Structures are given as C-alpha cells and as structure tokens.
Amino acid sequence: MNQMLFIRRSIDRLRMKFLIVLVFAVLVLTVDLAAGQVDDPFPEIKTKFGSTAESYRMQGEVVDYFGKVQVVMDEGDLYRRPEDVGYDFYFLGSGRLEVIDTSALGISWKGRFGKKRSIKFVSAYICGRRFPEMLMLDPNHWSEAKLKREDWQKLLFKLTTPDRFYWISLSGELGVWPEYDVSLPPVWIDLELADGNRMMVHLSPDITEQLNIYYYGMEYKRPFLLAGFEVNDRLQLAPIVLDSSIISVRLKETGDFDGECSIYFAAGSDRRGIKLNLPRLFKVDSIMNADGIDIPYIKKKERSTLYLGPRSEMEEQPDVISIYYRGKFTLTRFAGVDFPINLTRWFPHLQYRNLGQYRINYTQHKDLTLISVGDKIDEWIEGEDKTVSYTTDNISYISFATGLYDTLSAVSHDIPINFYIRQEHNRGLFNRSIPEKVMNDLVGAFSTFHDWFGPPQVQSLEMVDQPMSSGQSSPGLIHLSTNTLLMGRNQSRFRAHEMAHQWWGHTVVPKTFKDAWLSEGLAEISAAMYLIEVKHDTTEYQELIDYWRRQVVQEGKIDGLYSRGYRAGSIILGYKFLQTYSPGDYIALVYFKSAYMLEMLRFEMDGPDYRTDFFQQMLGQFCGEYAGKQATSMDFIRVVARYIGDQRAAAFFKQWLFRWRVPDFEGSYSIKPDKKGRPMLYINIEAYAVDTDFATPYPVEIEFVDGTRRLFRIDGIGQKKEHMLGPFPEEIKKVRFDPDHIILSRDTKMTKSQ
C-alpha cells in the first residue's frame, strides 16, 4: 500500500514537473515569438556571445555593399556561436572599410576623416542571414576555438548597441528581408577602429536612405550619421505602398484607449516584412491577416518600431492586416492639464510620408466633442457612448482632439472656419476678448495665404486650443498651443506658421526626406511675409530674421536639443539630421536656414525695395501645379527658374540648398567725387570661408544729407571685389551694408577708407 502510494505521489510529482516545464516553455515561446506565433520569421539574436565558439581563418574576404562601400577582412579569425545559428559573427584581426562611392560623403565625414577613404579596424560584429554562404566559405573549415575574456566582454557592448542607440532590433531587421536572398550583405556591421572609436554600417529597406554609415566616438554620447546611400535600385524590392486604413479607437475618460487598425496595401506592393511606427509606450496585443491567422511581429517595450514578418515563398500574402493595440494618450501634463503625447502618429504607420485614404471611428463619452482630420460622415449613440465616423482623401497623417469646448466660427473664401477653446479657459479669456483677437488673426492669415497661394486642399478648417507647448498642423485641423491664448506677447508668427502648413505640407506634400524644407521652410517664410506685408510689424519681422541667423550660425541648444548649426551639413539632408547626435540641427537648418534661403531668394527675385511680387507669384504657381501631389526640391527649383533663369536658379540653390558653408564678408568703402564733383561710392568687398564659385547679390543702404535713404543692390559678391555706385545729386551722410541682414552671413566687417 505504501509502495503504491509512493508510486502515485512520484507520478504526481513528475506530472507537476512536466506541467511546470511545459508552462515555462510556453511562456518562453510567447515572449520570443511576440504574442505566441508558431511560425516566426524573426531569428533570435542573443545578447551574449560566450567564450566557446567556432572559428574560420579569413584572408582578404570582401563584403560588398552594392559598389558603395566594402568591408574587407584582410587577415584574422571569424567566430560564430557553437550552435551555428548562422546569424551573427565576430571578426578579430585586421581589416578596412573602403568607401567606393564618395558622392555621399559630406561635412561629417570630412570633419572626422578628411580625405581618407580607407578606415582600418581591428574587430567587427556582423549580423546577417546566411553570411558564410554569401562569402562562399567552406563549411568544413570551421574549427573549435576559445574567445579571450576581454574579447567576448567587449562584444557584449556591441550586441546592445543597436537597441540602446538606434532603437532597432537585429532580429526584426533580419525579419524584414526575404530569407532566401543569399546575395544580401549583412544588415549590421559594427567596426572597432584602432583608436577605440567605432563605425556602424546599417542596411535596411525602410529608412530614408537604405545604406547608412554611423560613427561613435568616445567623446560623444550617441552615434552620428557620417554618410547615406540610396540603393533601392540595387535591392530590387518593390516599394510598400498603403492604399487605405480603417481605424477604430475607443477613448476612455481615464486617458486609456483600445485601437484596431486595418491596413490595406496598394496593388503591386511588395509584401515582404515591413517596419511600422507606433508610439513607444503603446502595446500591441495581436496582428492578424484577413483569415484571422496571426502574423508574427516584434514590438519591444519602450520602443516605437513595429516589425511585421515577411511571407514565405509558397504562401499567399493577404491584402490587409489588422493590428490590435492599446495605450494611454494622456501621459504628460502641461499647465495642470493632461494632453495627448502624440497628435499625428497614434496609429500604425510607415516610417515615411505615405499618402493614403483613412476611415476612422472614434468612440467616447457622449458629452464630449470630437474634432478630427477628415469629413464627418456618421454619428450614433449607444448608452453612454457616442461613436463618430470620419473619412479622408489621400493625406499623409491624421490627428484629432476631444474635450469640452466653446466655439467661435467664421467663413473665408466660402470655407467654414471653427475655433474650439477649452471650456476651462473660457471665462478669463473671453472677458479679455483674447479668443476673438486670436480668431481674427487666424482668419486673416488664412485669407491672405488663400489670396497668395490659391485654395488649400480642405473643405473646412478646424482649430483647437491644445494644452501643449508647441503647435501641430494636420490637414484641415490645427492644434494651437494654449500659450497662444494665455501669453501676452504677439504670437502672430506662430499662428501664421501653423496656418501656412495647410498649403506647405498638406496641399503640397514633400516627397522624400530631402524635401522636408518644402514644408517647414515655406511655412516659416510665409509667416514672415505675413508679418511684414499684412501686419506691417517690421520690429517682429526683423527680430525673426535675426533669430533665424543666430540659430544657424551658432552652436548650442534649440528647444533643448543640441545643434551644430550650419556646420552639420546642407539643408537637403532633411530628416537625416534627426539621426545624428545633434538632432537640433533639423530645426536650425530645415526650419530656419531654409527660411533664410527663401528670404534671400525673395530679395533676388523682387529687388532691394521688394517693389515687385514675383516671389509671391512663384509660390502661387508652385502650389497650383502641385496641389494634392507630392513635390521634390527639383520641382521647386524648376518653377523658380522660370522667373530668374536656369543658370541663376542652379547657382543659387547649389550654394544655399546643396552646400553647407556660410560666408564672412569683409572689405572697405570710400566716397569720392567724380569729374563733375558729384559723390561716388566705391566698394571693395570679399566673401570668405566659402566655395570658390560662391556669388551673391548684396544690399547697400545709403543715407543722404537731406535725410532720405535708398537701398541698392550690388551683384557678384564673391566673384567680383570692386563695385561702384553713383553719381548722386546729394552728399552721402552714411553707408550701411546689409542693414536688415538679408544675406545670411556669420560676420560682416566694413571699414571706411580715405
């Protein structure tokens, strides 16, 4: 009896142990496979590389990145894990990074390496599918080996670098590529240079440029971008294009929400694995295809990248996927009020602007007002819940606002305009008539831009008082900071900038990362023109020009973000500035330097007294031709060339858009009589710290003894030193060189000579 009881208890214990092991295995599988998918395309990349390994002797093996860059392992040992997972490797020895295509090497590379195109390294961590097969290594030549403690400990830091500094998952990066492509070079190589600094090579189909090189120096807190190459033509992958999305979101009074987003792919889209963005604190519950079958994915905690796995060769890929996710909108407080942390990217979306159609169903408490991008098509109430349905045409993103509001309304050019003010701000603000003043200013800016640029791509315009420190303009919906109501100082420029985005960014959409300035720069110059042409506020206009200049030429922080100013590179780098260790460069250059460039173009087109409006006409023509379309920088340059000619347009944008240098001006002037005794002004001026072909027009203001002032323009500064103005009927009292700082420069030193 005791023996039987012992046997039964033993069996029970074995069953319990088996159950515990089974539960543990399921938990591990669930964690590794992201919500429990069985057929996971994402290989596991471990964060440890132990001392026991296998090695292969390398001599002159070359990893070629499409003729752009080569990683050469001259001599050394390649190590792999003993289990031979075939995904990541460690090279110790001597090697070189060879840059074959130098066209993408800009100021960051030159500032670090000068004219060097060959950079030596002593070790490399390599991550890629079927890497030995790509190099055609003999599988029989691997042998057992031991890594020294200092080597595998050093490797631990390299294994954490992608997630720590770039917020990317190497498993996810491998998963977005077709597994069967043996010719594909590694998605990630981390090189240790002889001086202890590092360089990284990153290949991905869904970033601004598909092949990027980063530098991580011991003196910096994070890596910065050295060079980027477009290699889409070599990858032979069709672009992923989203046709439309249906989004349903339930908004709770606690600030929590539940969301479902069904994404429909356009015909002909490559349905390989893709990367989407979703705010880092949002959680994905599951992703399914049209048949309700789970789709494998990776969404790490505190990370914004959502990786979706590719199809296998034998499977049909669905035209639609559904993503079920949840999160909390009201995670940040401003002025004692909760507000959304992300106004435009709260739903799964591609990592670049993609025009698509949306249908959005919002469910919330019936007493709240919902304002959204798009056209409201339906509304119904069930119990305490109200659901409001919106639809959109082709736009790049959507935003919404919800709350209790008081409303001001107006009509301009037959377009209804509504301004929603939070009720908690109502009494104090309305007593001071501030909302009415703000509303009049907004309607004035809308009417002005409509006259200048033509109708925007909206049927109505909604503006919302949002408790936040900045603004955000979406198609047909502008989120205005509460500061614009509470602060006493004039905020006309801020409001005009956000209003101008209805034309620059939404009516005309920048096509690529290089064209971001077409949105921000044109919105900023439009706001400046509104100040001077409509508000006649010369003081704020001049303060704005001076502010642009300071942010461009100085090194420091902008909105808390470090910026190198103009030294970071040319405006055309666009979104790539956000990938550097100084993300404030994006604000300094894409916003302010591009706006300054456009102000200089206005000076070149309209003359020193701005007596013509060719610049304004040009903007209207550009907007009319590309309304509802995506436009590039070259599209803009072609429109400008119709006014100033191909040669002048090419030279202007070459030095201000595609190059990075900012000049110093230095020289002298003298006033001498001509043969008839009339005063002449002789000017000798040079431009320094610029390219040899630099040339610019330059404003000179002359004040005469009778008190009158005249502004003149001299051309060819940089190519021509000596200039002459006159003769004049009146004596010259004073000469000012570029008194309004129209031409961007670091410094100007002009002295009067005898």
pLDDT reported for residue 112:
80
pLDDT higher than threshold 70 for residue 40: no
What confidence tier does 20 reach under pLDDT thresholds 50, 70, 90?
very low
Q: Which residues span the domain enclosing 21? A: 1-32
Distances, alpha carbon 182 to alpha carbons 179, 222, 282, in Å: 8, 32, 35
What confidence tier does 293 reach under pLDDT thresholds 50, 70, 90?
confident
Q: Work out the average pLDDT over 426-455.
A: 85
Q: Rounded distance, CA 575 to CA 513, Å?
A: 5
**C-alpha 391 chain-centroid distance:** 26
Pairing state of beta strands 349-350 and 274-277? antiparallel
Q: Do residue 669 and residue 650 come from a single domain?
A: no
193 within some domain: yes
438 within some domain: no
| DSSP H/E element including 552 | helix 538-553
pLDDT reported for residue 236:
66
DSSP structure string for 70-100:
EEEEEEEEEEE-TT--SSEEEEEEEEEEEE-
Q: Do residue 650 and residue 683 come from a single domain?
A: no
The domain that contains 579 carries what CATH number? 1.10.390
pLDDT reported for residue 617:
96
Q: Do residue 184 and residue 243 come from a single domain?
A: no
Q: Do residue 205 and residue 81 come from a single domain?
A: yes
Q: Work out the average pLDDT over 674-689.
A: 93
Query: In the Cβ-directed half-sphere of 36, how many Cα atoms lie within 13 Å?
Result: 7
User: What 8-state DSSP symbol labels residue 535?
Assistant: S
Query: In the Cβ-directed half-sphere of 451, how many Cα atoms lie within 13 Å?
Result: 11
What confidence tier does 444 reach under pLDDT thresholds 50, 70, 90?
very high
503 within some domain: no
**C-alpha 201 chain-centroid distance:** 20
246 within some domain: yes
pLDDT reported for residue 7:
39
Question: Which among 161, 54, 76 has a CA at the least distance from the CA of 123?
Answer: 76
Instruction: Return all residues near 254 (Cβ < 8 A) that are at least 6 apart.
Output: 328
Structural contact between residues 644 and 653, judged by C-beta atoms closer than 8 angstroms:
no
Q: Do residue 525 and residue 587 come from a single domain?
A: yes
pLDDT reported for residue 3:
42
Most confident range (mean pLDDT) of 133-142, 208-217, 605-614 is: 133-142
pLDDT higher than threshold 60 for residue 311: no
pLDDT higher than threshold 50 for residue 565: yes
What confidence tier does 353 reach under pLDDT thresholds 50, 70, 90?
low
Most confident range (mean pLDDT) of 29-33, 394-398, 701-705 is: 701-705
pLDDT higher than threshold 70 for residue 313: no
DSSP structure string for 272-329:
S-EEEE--TT-EEEEEEETTS-B--EE--TT--EEEEPPPPTTSPPPSEEEEEEEEES
3-state secondary structure of 442: helix
Structural contact between residues 671 and 724, judged by C-beta atoms closer than 8 angstroms:
no
Last residue of a domain, one of 634, 656, 678: 656
Instruction: Return all residues near 58 (Cβ < 8 A) that are at least 6 apart.
Output: 73, 75, 76, 77, 78, 91, 93
pLDDT reported for residue 598:
98
Instruction: Return all residues near 285 (Cβ < 8 A) that are at least 6 apart.
Output: 35, 324, 325, 326
Instruction: Return all residues near 670 (Cβ < 8 A) that are at least 6 apart.
Output: 681, 682, 752, 753, 754
The domain that contains 724 carries what CATH number? 2.60.40.1910
- The model's pTM is 0.85
Q: What are phi and psi of 565, to 5 degrees?
A: 70, -150
**Helix and strand totals (H; E) in the chain:** 17, 40
418 within some domain: no
Query: In the Cβ-directed half-sphere of 92, how many Cα atoms lie within 13 Å?
Result: 15
User: What 8-state DSSP symbol labels residue 398?
Assistant: -
- pLDDT tens for residues 61-90? 999 999 999 999 999 999 998 876 678 899
Q: Work out the average pLDDT over 441-454.
A: 96
Q: What are phi and psi of 337, to 5 degrees?
A: -125, 140
Structural contact between residues 95 and 120, judged by C-beta atoms closer than 8 angstroms:
yes
Q: Do residue 22 and residue 126 come from a single domain?
A: no
pLDDT reported for residue 350:
80
Residue 264 in tokens: 């429909």
Q: What are phi and psi of 627, to 5 degrees?
A: -60, 130
467 within some domain: no
pLDDT reported for residue 6:
38
pLDDT higher than threshold 80 for residue 240: no
Q: Do residue 224 and residue 272 come from a single domain?
A: no
Q: Work out the average pLDDT over 488-511.
A: 89
pLDDT reported for residue 153:
79
Q: Work out the average pLDDT over 421-435.
A: 71
pLDDT higher than threshold 90 for residue 524: yes
Q: Rounded distance, CA 251 to CA 392, Å?
A: 20
Q: Do residue 265 and residue 215 come from a single domain?
A: no
Tally of domains within the chain:
5
pLDDT reported for residue 36:
33
| DSSP H/E element including 493 | helix 492-500
Average predicted confidence (pLDDT) for the chain? 85
Question: Which among 734, 739, 718, 599 has a CA at the least distance from the CA of 666?
Answer: 718
139 within some domain: yes
Instruction: Count CB neighbours of 629 within 10 A.
Output: 14
Q: What amino acid occupies position 9?
A: R
Q: Do residue 296 and residue 323 come from a single domain?
A: yes
Pairing state of beta strands 283-289 and 320-328? antiparallel
What confidence tier does 314 reach under pLDDT thresholds 50, 70, 90?
very low
Q: Do residue 562 and residue 672 come from a single domain?
A: no
Q: Do residue 392 and residue 256 come from a single domain?
A: yes
Separation of first and last alpha carbons in the chain = 124
Structural contact between residues 717 and 690, judged by C-beta atoms closer than 8 angstroms:
no
Last residue of a domain, one of 177, 210, 229: 229
485/6: higher pLDDT: 485
Last residue of a domain, one of 403, 434, 462: 403
- pLDDT tens for residues 151-201? 877 887 788 888 888 788 999 988 887 665 677 899 999 999 988 899 999
Q: Do residue 598 and residue 739 come from a single domain?
A: no
The dihedral region occupied by 362, where left means phi > 0, alpha psi between -120 and 50, and beta the remainder, is beta
Q: Rounded distance, CA 301 to CA 327, Å?
A: 12
Q: Work out the average pLDDT over 201-205.
A: 89
307 within some domain: yes
Angle in degrees, CA 177, 181, 182, rounded to 5 = 125
